[in-house]
Amino acid sequence: MKRLLYYYIVKTSFFKKICANSIRAVALIDYRPSMASILRAAFLQKPSNSVFLTELWLRRLTAVVLLFTLFPGCGDFGNSDMIKCNSMIPTDLDNVHVSYKYGYDDSFGSTNSFWYVLEIKNDSNIPLENLRFKINHLWWASLKDLMVNAGFFRGYRSFGETSFPAKKKIRFVFSPETKNNLQFKDLLGNPMSEGIVFKEIRLHSKEGVGTFRFSEP
């Protein structure tokens, strides 16, 4: 039912025009931006003249309807199609698992709609202290700087802690909305570009190092 409703709203030219600016990030059912970002896009835009006033309110109404129909679990990308990374041997992090999914969608005419969902699960009984990540041997980032979903209304916020909790699973979204790619920098301080294909991620912590390989896209 969700997919039928989504198809009707997105593929119908009338609604596609209304939704284009207010929910541009909603590329797939599994790619759901935060409620806060949708509301900001729909309600903070001011009409330039009275001609667009009706369309503006239609866009706002459509955004609200979508929030409570398509996105009951806003920010949760679901468990479907997650791909498990291969843990490289030797490793110090036997109880840490990394999975991912990625996609590309131009339903709203966006020129930058490539996204990744990176899921890290710590099955051990101890937290991973001072955790840092290294992607493709080039770009570094600290756990505390990465954006995570803070809930239905708050949207995305930086994690704010250097310790990854024990027995927890956290998802990091790389998309035009979260801009997590900008938190990863090379040794010269240059941020990782959007659209980079992940080949490898290395986790560095006080408890040791683990390397995980991504399948070829």
| pLDDT tens, the chain, 217 aa long | 444 444 444 444 444 444 444 333 332 333 445 555 555 555 555 555 554 556 656 666 665 555 544 444 334 445 568 999 999 988 999 999 999 998 876 654 455 567 899 999 999 999 999 999 999 999 999 999 999 998 878 889 999 999 999 999 999 999 888 999 999 999 999 999 988 899 999 999 999 999 999 987 6
Q: What is the chain's alpha carbon radius of gyration, rounded to the nearest angstrom? A: 19
Which amino acid belongs to residue 80? S
Q: Which of 114, 31, 7, 2 is nearest to 16 (CA)?
A: 7
> Do 127 and 163 contact (CB within 8 A), yes or no?
yes
**Residues of 61-99 as b/e, b for ≥16 C-beta within 10 angstroms?**
ebbbebbeebbeebbebeeeeeeebeeeeeeebebbbbb
pLDDT at 44: 57
Domains of the chain: 2-69 (no CATH), 83-213 (2.60.40)
With vertex at residue 165, the alpha carbon angle to CA 140 and CA 138, rounded to the nearest 5 degrees, is: 10
Reduced to 3 states (helix: H, G, I; strand: E, B; else coil), residue 22 is helix
Q: How far is residue 65's CA from residue 44's CA, in Å, rounded to a whole number? A: 17
pLDDT at 114: 77
pLDDT at 75: 41
pLDDT at 185: 97
β-partners of residue 191 are 185
